């Protein structure tokens, strides 16, 4: 059973018995919002497009600290050197164990970051009976099968509380995201660094830490080196007939253009914190974790 299937099953269990859906109000909620449509057929399970994967990878890389990006670079270069030595008739692999398995283990600590990035970048989530998308405002006109609820303000749900709750759970990466408002750009950089350091600790609820520049897909200083290393690793893996378990080929492609999450107006003096999926049961602890990372000042709910 895939993770997507497990999440969908949990959502169905949460919403058992909710057979009738009603709109919360004739007055549309203020944005950002979740647009909920009743699914008429089973969702298609499709692999992420290369553009989507590239954007998610860029968010993940931006959310890593410079030291973490250095660790990823070192791990890729080491795996590449070992694979190249195995291909050379004069080479000798001085390492023990499988280099790709070791690379996967080394990069596994960053899996929650990439998982959160992929979920956040998607902007749309589907289950057996719901199709949920995040938007800056409610679509007009709305069809009879559509419900539009506030992304963060559940007090506006009224008659659609059960439906909205299920939709927010399914869209966990955006519905549980938090915006930290700060006094200056310098404070933003300091806060982001502090939160990224806390994310490395065991038990952290934090998946991604992003600034407005990160959402605009600005290139990080180490991206060029990561791109070269990923391309070299991809070439030697192909020559060795090995599979890329981490989809690192996205690092080897050019940094995508555009902006992620156009539905969110994030100021230059704000930090966006996205939770990690494995800690949703402890999401109530995230404000305290943010508060404990000076110089961050916690603000909830996120700015609209």
What share of the chain in percent tops pLDDT 90?
61
pLDDT in tens, 25-40: 456 677 799 999 987 7
CA distance 300 to 152: 10
Q: Are 36 and 147 in contact (CB under 8 A)?
A: yes
Separation of first and last alpha carbons in the chain: 37
pLDDT in tens, 115-155: 999 999 999 998 888 999 999 999 887 788 889 999 998 87
Indicate the DSSP class of residue 36: E
pLDDT at site 3? 41
pLDDT in tens, 162-200: 889 999 999 999 999 999 999 889 999 999 999 999 999
Q: Are 118 and 33 in contact (CB under 8 A)?
A: no
pLDDT at site 154? 83
CA distance 130 to 134: 13
The size of the chain, in residues, is 304
pLDDT in tens, 235-253: 999 999 998 766 788 999 9
pLDDT reading at 101 higher than 60: yes
Q: Are 209 and 196 in contact (CB under 8 A)?
A: yes
- Beta-bridge partner residues of 272: 179, 210
**Dihedral of CA 230/231/236/242: which sign?**
positive
CA distance 196 to 194: 5
Nearest partner of 15 among 211, 200, 169, judged by Cα: 169
Q: Are 206 and 198 in contact (CB under 8 A)?
A: yes
Main-chain dihedrals φ then ψ at residue 207, nearest 5 degrees? -105, -50
pLDDT at site 160? 72
Burial of residue 101 (number of CB atoms within 10 Å: 0-12, 13-18, 19+): exposed
pLDDT at site 143? 80
CA distance 208 to 218: 16
pLDDT at site 234? 93
pLDDT reading at 24 higher than 50: no
């Amino acid at each position: 059973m895939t993770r997507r299937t497990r999440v969908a099953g949990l959502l169905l269990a949460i919403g058992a018995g909710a057979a009738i859906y009603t709109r919360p109000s004739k007055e549309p909620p203020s944005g950002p919002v979740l647009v909920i449509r009743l699914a008429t057929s089973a969702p298609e399970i499709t692999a992420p497009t290369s553009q989507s994967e590239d954007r998610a990878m860029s968010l993940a890389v931006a959310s890593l600290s410079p030291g973490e990006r250095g660790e990823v670079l070192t791990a890729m270069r080491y795996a590449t050197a070992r694979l190249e030595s195995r291909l050379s008739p004069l080479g000798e692999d001085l390492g023990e164990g499988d280099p790709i398995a070791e690379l996967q283990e080394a990069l596994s600590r960053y899996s929650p970051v990439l998982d959160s990035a992929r979920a956040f970048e998607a902007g749309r989530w589907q289950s057996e009976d719901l199709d949920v998308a995040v938007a800056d405002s409610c679509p007009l006109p709305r069809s009879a099968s559509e419900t539009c609820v506030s992304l963060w303000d559940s007090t506006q749900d009224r008659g659609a509380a059960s439906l909205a709750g299920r939709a927010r759970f399914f869209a966990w990466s955006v519905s549980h995201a938090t915006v930290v408002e700060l006094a200056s750009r310098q404070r933003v950089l300091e806060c982001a660094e502090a939160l990224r350091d806390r994310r490395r600790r065991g038990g952290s609820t934090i998946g991604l830490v992003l600034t407005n520049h990160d959402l605009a897909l600005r290139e990080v200083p180490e991206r060029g080196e990561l791109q070269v290393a990923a391309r070299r690793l991809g070439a030697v893996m192909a020559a060795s007939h090995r599979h890329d378990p981490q989809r690192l080929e996205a690092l080897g492609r050019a940094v995508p253009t555009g902006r992620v999450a156009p539905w969110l107006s994030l100021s230059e003096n704000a930090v966006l914190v996205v939770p990690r999926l494995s800690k949703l049961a402890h999401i109530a602890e995230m404000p305290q974790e943010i508060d404990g990372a000076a110089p961050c000042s916690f603000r909830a709910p996120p700015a609209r």
